[in-house]
Amino acid sequence: MELNNLTIKRADELLRERQVSAVDLTEYYLKNISEKNRGLNAYLEVFEDAKLSAVEADSRRALGEDGPLLGIPLAIKDNILIEGHIASAGSKILQNYKAVYDATVITKLKGAGAVFLGRTNMDEFAHGSSTENSAYGVTRNPVDTDRVPGGSSGGSAAVVSGDMAVASLGSDTGGSVRQPASLCGIVGLKPTYGAVSRHGLIAMGSSLDQIGPLTKSVDDAEIIFNIIRGMDPMDSTTREYPLGRDIPGKMKLAIPKGFVGKGVAPEVLENFNATVKRLQLKGYQIDEVELSNIKYALPCYYVIMPAEVSTNLARFDGVRYGLHVDGANLMEDYSKSRAHGFGAEPRRRIMLGAYVLSAGYYDAYYKKAQEVIGLIKRDFSKVFSDGYSAIITPTAAGPAFKIGEKFSDPISMYLEDVFTVSANVTGVPAISVPMGFAERDGKKLPLGFQIMAPHFREDILFKIGRDAEF
């Protein structure tokens, strides 16, 4: 039986019909990993207990239990805690840290019977858009191994695109699920802020982070989301997820006026316009609307995010856990451990964040950025209150770029987030679905179509996403 490129939905059908077992699926993916991972560096570790989890899932099915994730092999980003396993966040400073508890999303997935294949590579502490910043080497894009898979959840995207897992979990602070999904030709969902617990996620920007799935279809993203969402007493930002609301029969979609154009690859514009026309033929009304402050989302993000990074990374001092380097005194212990443990990008963001929070600069930068984010939120609210069900843009300005192409140019790398950060600063849900290809060096490189909906309206994303899927 052909098992390549299975979706969750199809794998669940095969399991329920007893055509395959969870052990069969797990062995298939472990074989793929052994054959492909050396060339991609997408997994940092393959879990030895994966087969045992599959045996347990088969036993549960034999006893009559059912469920869409029971026995489904998944991969987990290296910044999500799984008890007893290393969670390094792609950094040397946590290279030997073993989680002492499960993240809430892991507890929910274990309850659903998912099989965890391993932990995936990522930009260090999720700082990056290419997975070139990992302390454990670059991850390569399965579509073209000379190119990046995107970031920071590049490993999670690569294992799904490369058929080394049915689906995976990543985290999204400024586009870190959606941008790699776009560059690898899969689906990536960033849920509403507060819809999914962050308990057990190693924090980057606490007001921006969300855990989300990377999958082969919109249906699969919905399956995982429905299992991991919900209120968690361990995360005070979560709330009970509202259910049972109607989806409008005829939806209006908004394109930010003047925002999708300059600096965007011609193939991205061509495929974006083709997707818009396809949706119009399906009955969607699509208009250009004024979102005058959306252009400030990226600079605001790169003020707020480093400020939160500098605060969150202060706890990694080489004393309580993680890498420790001896110095002549306690202060030297701190400085040597952090100097050896943090890579260049975390250091850059720590310094930027400390600067914008410092006396004399807080009002000029951090406070001003927060005020502008308030204006962006107001613009989004107005568009939604005017009857638009979603805002649409490309996910990224171009296809996957070559490894090393932007690595020494931080500004060029930061611009990779231009379309995605607005969903994080406003807290709305967003999804990226494949929308076509751009040809480079004789290879067809995937492109992504992004949809943003009002808070807690992931159901609208799934409806439009299914209609837009390429």
Residues serving a catalytic function are 77, 152, 176
3-state SS class at 213: strand
Dihedral over Cα of 369, 372, 374, 380: its sign:
negative
Q: Of the candidates 345, 417, 336, 416, which has an alpha carbon nearest to the alpha carbon of residue 91?
A: 345
The answer to whether the beta carbons of residues 448 and 392 sit under 8 Å apart is: no
CB-CB neighbours of 249 under 10 Å? 6
With CA atoms as reference, report the closest residue to 349 among 159, 174, 466, 189: 174
**CA-based angle 76:155:414, to the nearest 5?**
120
Beta bridge partners of 210: 172
Strand order in the sheet with 285-289: 43-46, 115-120, 73-77, 167-172, 210-215, 187-190, 430-440, 443-452, 388-394, 252-256, 285-289
Spatial separation of the C-alpha atoms in residues 136 and 44, rounded to whole Å:
8
- Gyration radius from the chain CA atoms: 21
Who contacts 86 (Cβ-Cβ below 8 Å, separation ≥6)? 45, 78, 94, 95, 96, 97, 98, 99, 119
**b/e map of 399-408 (b: 16 or more CB within 10 Å)?**
bbbebebbbe
Q: Read off the tokens for 146.
A: 């000379």
Nearest C-alpha neighbor of 158 from the set 23, 33, 22: 33
* E strand map for 110-203: 115-120, 167-172, 187-190
Q: Which two tokens stand for residue 53?
A: 């989890």
Give the dihedral of Cα atoms 447, 448, 449, 452; nearest 10 deg: -160
Q: How far apart are CA 188 and CA 195, in angstroms?
A: 16
Three-class SS of 389-404:
EEEEEECCCCCCCECC
